[in-house]
Amino acid sequence: MSEFVIKQVMRKCGELHISAKQLAAETGISVSTISIMFNGNYEIYDVTESKLVEWLSSKGGFEMDEITTKRLNDLLDHIEQINDNPWIKGKRRFAKWLGVSYPTLDKMLKEGLPVHFITYVDAYFFNKQEVNKYLLEQ
């Protein structure tokens, strides 16, 4: 999706004769990030992509089919939910969020990493704030 969005932005900037500096000012994205994108690096953060999509929409130049638009909106809703939710369900998801392997997470749990286990649903829940506090105290 990112490559498609960036190419649409580049086309619209060309049509409107907008420089990277002007695009940065209008979107709130740094000039260096825009320069990197325009030089072929299509690996951008979801937040940056959403800003670009919003900018394209405001310029009336976003050519996207209905299915893609729905998928993008669903993705943005999911990102908001992830960012707002202080809880992560499941050990594997939490290990991925923390950036450690599954065995490393098991070792950390044995050493006292805070976790909430609900027996009747057999589920692990991790509170991001509790974990951050615990890690900072180590």
Percent pLDDT > 90 in the chain is: 16
| 116 and 69, same domain (yes or no) | no
The answer to whether 55 and 26 have CB atoms below 8 angstroms apart is: yes
List C-alpha distances in Å: 108 to 27, 92, 105, 115, 128. Answer: 41, 13, 5, 10, 15
pLDDT for the residue numbered 81: 65
User: Same structural domain for residues 79 and 91?
Assistant: no
- Is the pLDDT score of 135 beyond 60? yes
Pair (94, 118) in one structural domain: yes
* Structural domain count of the chain: 2
Quote the pLDDT of residue 12.
84
**Mean pLDDT (whole number) for 19-38:** 88
> For residue 112, is pLDDT > 90?
yes
**Do residues 60 and 7 both lie within one domain?**
yes
On whether both 59 and 114 belong to a single domain, the answer is no
What's the CA gap between 12 and 123, in Å, rounded? 48
Give yes or no: residues 94 and 130 share one domain: yes
Tracing tokens 């943005």 back to the chain, one arrives at 76
Does 76 lie in the same domain as 9?
yes
| Bridge partner residues of 88 (DSSP) | 126
For 28, the token pair is: 């709130």
Check whether residue 101 and residue 129 sit in a common domain.
yes
Whole-number pLDDT of residue 73: 67
12 and 77 in a common domain: yes
- Residue 132, pLDDT > 60, answer yes
One domain for residues 68 and 91: no
- Does 6 lie in the same domain as 55? yes
Domain limits for position 35: 2-84
